[in-house]
Structure 1
Amino acid sequence: MADEYSSWVGLVYVFNLIVGTGALTLPSVFAGAGWLLSTILVSLLALVSFITVTFVIETMACANATVHWRRVQSHKIDESEVPADSDSEIDNTTEETAIINTNRRRKRYYNINTKVELGEMAKLYFNKLGQLLFYLSLCIYLYGDLAIYATAVSKTVVDLTCKSYNNTEDYNVKCLDSIGILKIDMYRIFVAIFALLVGPFTYFKVQKTKYLQVFTTALRWSAFIIMITLACIRLSKYGQEGHPKLFYLSGIPALIGSSIYSFMCHHSVPGLISPFANKHHVIKQIGLDYLSICCFYLLLAMTGSFAFETLDDLYTLNFIPTESDTSGVFMEIAKYFLGAFPLFTLSTSFPIIAITLQNNLKSLFLDINVIERYNFFVRRLVFPTLAVVPPILVAFSTHNLRSLVAFTGSYAGVLIQYIIPACLVYFARQHCTRNIGNYDNKYASPFKHVFWFMFVIGWSIFCVIFVTANFIMLEINSK
């Protein structure tokens, strides 16, 4: 196929998808929960996230098998016409052995040649209520994602524009001595400018081009490598300035939310895995990706936690030069590049996420099969507006990026990353066993014992209860 790419290229795409905005919020919450406790939790969260990615891959194969089985049962194709994976062994069975080995032939049903999105899997294996809950959780997650993008971009511009203060989260101070505008007012002005400049792209069919992907990928890798390098240089030059505790329980909720957000890729796995030219070892390769990403996150967070006395919610803001900074020209340029880094990547991603959101909103409220029957106002104006306005209003109301990430990751993120994949694979296995009769899925998760399903559900409940209790306590203390 022309759209196929090698497994290693696909793994780079997966790496780039996962390592994004969430990683910029990780150092602050990592230090806040204590470096040892955070190391344990981030490693555990990476493991749980990998487990549920394998659930999604297994369900993709089940969905392909279900589609093939239905076509066979409706006599649209013969059983021998079911396509095998491009990396499958050549079938040399004769007519006689094919009759005897029906189950072996049906093993070919379980492939992932055809891309089946999460929404399509939900329609195959969930009832109407399950489908509704799926789309609601996905839309809530995407709304949170957009609010985080708008907030991160606006905060970055404020910190690049306004005077530097010791407490960068205090927005009730003047932006500049020469003007009387407070930082919070300047922040809201930039949110409005962001909405006016980037929001309109949601009303058009904006697609990521190959060159845009290459450009943003190069920016992302450059920024993260520079941040780790500068933190190491700072440690060698000034010694340890940050003194994070070993354990700090009150920091766990924010860490959970940020880590879940940082390991999220599940909603895009079908589109990334399907074009793999050779899928034979895809689960092991994704595991290698997750191990690399976990080590990368720990290195980024650990160096930042010990190099800086205080950490901003958005890690790049720690590198913005101050008036007392005496670094050379090259270092100044590198720091300004890091300060402006979120502007490039988040602004280009915002319209894409918004278009994804409006498409899911249409799937939730409209009949997609007859979408052209709806008038232009409904199709091209109402839903783009519904996708853009709420997250912009959320960004107007708060500049607390840590809370937004904690809420988005801990609630909607738990549903998308943990509960939905676990429920999908559970019902998919039952459906295929009951209807096809032989569950010989070569893409089955190595975590196929029912214990792992119960573990993921139990871990999800723990995350939600812990974070909810913390939010309630913070609300009580604030009063």
Structure 2
Amino acid sequence: MAGGITESGEPYSPFVGIVYMFNLIVGTGALTMPKAFATAGWAVSIALITFLGFMSYMTTTFVIEAMAAANAQLRWKRREQEEVEHSDSTSDYSDDDDVVNRGRSEPETKPILSVREYKRSGGQVDQFDIVERVEMGQMASMFFNKVGVNMFYICIIVYLYGDLAIYAAAVPLSLMEVACGNHSCSAGSVKYNDTDPCWGSVTRLDAYRVFLSLFTVMMGPFTFFNAQKTKYLQILTSLMRWIAFTMMIILALIRINKDHGAGRPPVANLAGVPNLFGVCVYSFMCQHSLPSLITPISDKKRVGTFVFADYVLILGFYALLSFTAIYCFDSSFLHDMYTLNFTDNCDVLDIPVLRYFLGLFPVFTISTNFPIIAVTLRNNWKTLFYRDGGTYPWVVDRVVFPLITLVPPIIVAFCTHNLESLVGITGSYAGTGIQYIIPASLVYFSRRHLEPTVGREAVNKHRSPFRHSFWVWFVWIWAAGCLMFVTANIILTDTKK
């Protein structure tokens, strides 16, 4: 997520980029959305998710513009460095040397192609072409001051902690539901409590913590090493995701079509809005991964159109998944993890193999992501405390940083497995910073940095459609209002309790 500059990697077509962005955005948040929809009411939910989808699209265009600005600034600095080196090399020549060498070629230290003349894929590169991957952490160091850079890393670290806590709770919860569920389906849809028995005197909560301990033992050690997701693992998890989501939508539609739908969602319930806000923000999160996603696209002429189409597609998918869920199931029986509604309900799905597949689906897909997120968080901790020329002692580097990465989210998962709340809090606070405040700040300060460098006449061809400064201020004000609203709601809720 945060890091330095690297090459863009193997290029791919815009269509493949759309698929990658869709897979990136549609993840764990989508599985918690149906219950949030049922709690807030269908009319409020569709209005809020549409508006938040628009806001996420806007800040996505902000990040793309900042990426182009970062590439332009890197080219300008490189060209300036080349001119300095060329000036130093020519200053070593005496007047006599100049007479002798007059008419000869330029010194060898001068590059054959200048930055403006650099060619890629057979075409001339514009100064705003996105050909180098500049991660958000690098953009923050380019356009923010020291305080801004530290705030960026703190924000992304908090978000990653929330991500890990959600993952650490989702996997054991799914395992517990599969192990302790009603597989005979003789009782139909039953809402269990944590104190209900699972195996003899072992309660469901005990079973959840046993599975959480096993998950920690199996996945935790990856935090102490480097883990990388392979191409084939991505393909496998994406395939499983689409099979599971398609099955859930079709099964819910079949049940509704047979007039067996038990859902009677309210039109509006404002009490459920704060949590729905957090779930929706979390479910539209992609801004932190855009540099890795957008840079390899081979033809970026219509990247803005493709991104817009992707958001429309994702919005339609979320609405379809959530509306089929809230009309298929009674809201009191909707699980935090939507897949669990199909685990022990033979009225919806009476094929045991498929019930197990849906119940264990989050286990396979989320478990593969946990080590990646953990290593990313560990590296961000190292970057936050890094000082030029300094090195960490072996114990700090290999033990302390992995432990402060792994222990907090596991403790949170031991204390609660309420995924709806975990997703809501993560999206409401850290998600607001990453999805709204940071992109708006990046595009605002990148414009200010570039104006004295490239001049006002230079036009960023990847500039956002929302280029007026009004939109930047609108995002900042919206983010501040959201944070105050969510905080006030939490305080009022605790006061009532």
TM value normalised by structure 1: 0.91
In structure 1, what is the equivalent of residue 401 of structure 2? 383
Does 1:9 pair with 2:16? yes
**Correspondences of 1:282-431 after superposition (within 5 Å):** 282-310=303-331, 311-322=334-345, 325=346, 331-367=351-387, 370=389, 373-431=391-449
* Contact 1:354/1:387, CA 8 A, preserved across alignment: yes
5 Å matches for 1:53-132? 53-74=60-81, 75=83, 80-82=114-116, 86=120, 90=124, 108-132=126-150
Distance 1:401 1:169 in 2: 16
Q: How many Å separate the matches in 1 of 2:405 and 2:79?
A: 40
Q: Distance in 1 between matches of 2:136 and 2:349?
A: 50
* Gap runs ≥5 in structure 1: 92-107
Do 2:168 and 2:410's aligned partners in 1 also have CA atoms closer than 8 Å?
yes
- Tell me the equivalent position of 1:102: none
- The RMSD of aligned alpha carbons is 2.0
Question: Distance in 1 between the 2:491 and 2:141 partners?
Answer: 35
Q: What is the CA deviation profile of residues 135-163 of structure 1, one whole-angstrom value per residue up to 9, with x for unaligned ones?
A: 00000000000000011111111111114
Q: Once the two structures are aligned, what percentage of the paired residues are identical?
A: 47
Q: Does 1:182 align with 2:216?
A: no
For residues 224-270 of structure 1, the C-alpha deviation after alignment (integer angstroms, 9 at most, x for no partner) is 10110111011112433101111111110111000000000111100
Change (3 A) 1:469 1:88: farther
Q: Which amino acid aligns with 1:461?
A: A
Q: Which moved more, 1:347-356 or 1:72-81?
A: 72-81
Q: CA deviation at 1:169?
A: 6.3
In 2, are the aligned partners of 1:84 and 1:109 still within 8 Å (CA)?
Answer: no
Aligned equivalent of 1:211: 232
Query: Residues 251 and 85 of structure 1: is their aligned pair in 2 closer, same or farther, counting only changes over 3 Å?
Result: farther
Q: CA deviation at 1:85?
A: 7.5
Q: After superposition, give the CA deviation of every residue in 1:100-151 in whole Å (9 maximum; x if it has no partner).
A: xxxxxxxx22121000000000000101110010000000000000000011
How far apart, CA to CA, are the structure 1 residues paired with 2:259 and 2:121? Answer: 54
The answer to whether the 8 A contact 2:143-2:442 is kept is yes
Q: Is the 8 A contact 1:85 1:112 kept in 2?
A: no
Which moves more between the two structures, 48-57 or 377-386? 377-386
What is the CA distance between 1:73 and its match in structure 2? Answer: 2.0
Q: 1:198 aligns with which of 219, 235, 254?
A: 219
Q: How does 1:437-452 map to 2 (within 5 A)?
A: 437-438=455-456, 439-452=458-471
1:175 counterpart SS class: strand
TM-score normalised by L of structure 2: 0.88
Question: Is 1:476–2:495 an aligned residue pair?
Answer: yes
Please state how far the C-alpha of 1:332 moved relative to its aligned partner: 2.7
Alpha-carbon spacing, 1:318–1:84, altered in 2? closer, same or farther (3 Å): farther
Question: Is the 8 Å Cα contact of residues 354 and 388 (structure 1) preserved in structure 2?
Answer: yes
Corresponding position of 2:43: 36
Distance 2:414 2:428 in 1: 22
Moved over 6 A (4+): none
Aligned pair count reads 455
- Matched residues in 2 for 1:258 and 1:346: separation? 17
1:432 equivalent among 450, 469, 481: 450
Counterpart in 1 of 2:95?
none
**TM-aligned CA distance change 1:83 to 1:415, over 3 Å:** farther
Q: Which residue of 1 aligns with 2:283?
A: 262
Q: Residue 422 of structure 1 aligns to which amino acid in structure 2?
A: A
Amino acid at match of 2:301: H
Partner Cα distance (1:385, 1:267) in 2: 24
For residues 312 and 15 of structure 2, what CA distance do their matches in structure 1 show? 15
**Kindly tell me: are residues 84 and 239 of structure 1, through their superposed partners in 2, closer, same or farther at Cα, counting changes over 3 Å?**
farther
Residue 299 of structure 2 corresponds to: 278
Is contact 2:436–2:476 with CA below 8 Å preserved after alignment?
yes
Paired residue secondary structure (1:109): coil
Q: Distance between the aligned counterparts of 2:117 and 2:15, measured in 1? A: 24
Superposed CA deviations along residues 60-104 of structure 1, whole A, max 9, x for unmatched, are 01111111111222225779433667479659xxxxxxxxxxxxx
**CA contact 1:226–1:334 (8 Å) conserved in 2:** no
**Partner-residue secondary structure (3-state), 1:374:** coil
Contact 1:122 1:134 in 2 (8 A): yes
Query: Larger Cα Rg: Structure 1 or Structure 2?
Result: 2
Would the alpha carbon gap of residues 424 and 83 (structure 1) be closer, same or farther in structure 2, given more than 3 Å must change? farther
Contact 1:86 1:277 in 2 (8 A): no
CA apart distance, 1:167: 6.4
Contact 2:79 2:114 in 1 (8 A): no
| Deviation at residue 391 of structure 1 after TM alignment | 0.4
Amino acid at match of 1:300: L
Equivalent in the alignment of 1:467:
486
